[in-house]
Amino acid sequence: MVSCKPSLESRLDQILKPLFPADEPGAAVLVMKGDDIVFDKGYGIARLDGDGIDGDTHFNIASVSKQFTAVAILQLVQEGKLSLNDAVGVYFPEFKSAIWKEIRIKHLLSHSSGVPDERGYLTREQKVFGDDDLAVEYLKNLDHLHFPPGTAYEYINPTYTLLGFLVERVSGEPFTEYVRKHIFGPAGMDDTYYFDRDDERPDAAHGYIFDDGWQEYDFGEETFFATRPDGGMYTSTHEFVKWEKVLRSGALLDEVLLHLAMSPHTQVSGSPWSDYQNRPNTWYGYGWFLEPAKDGAPLRIYHTGDNGGFKIMAARYPEQNLLILIFANRNDWDRYELLMQLEKELITIN
- Give me the pLDDT at residue 2, please: 47
Q: Which residues of the chain have pLDDT under 70?
A: 1-4, 348-350
Q: What is the DSSP letter of 252?
A: S
How many C-beta atoms surround the C-beta of residue 220 within 10 A?
12
Q: What is the DSSP letter of 75?
A: H
- Give me the pLDDT at residue 223, please: 86
- Give me the pLDDT at residue 326, please: 98
Q: What is the DSSP letter of 6?
A: P
- Give me the pLDDT at residue 350, please: 47
Give domain 57-318's CATH superfamily: DD-peptidase/beta-lactamase superfamily (3.40.710.10)
> Which residue pairs from 139-142 have beta carbons closer than 8 angstroms and sit at least 24 positions apart in sequence?
139/92, 139/95, 139/115, 140/94, 140/95, 140/96, 141/96, 141/97, 142/95, 142/97, 142/99, 142/115, 142/116, 142/118
Instruction: Spell out the alpha helix ranges (H) of 3-65.
Output: 8-16
Residue ranges per structural domain of the chain: 57-318
- Give me the pLDDT at residue 4, please: 58
- Residues near 340 by Cβ (< 8 Å), separated by ≥ 6? none
- Give me the pLDDT at residue 210, please: 96
Closest CA to 303 of 282, 320, 319: 282
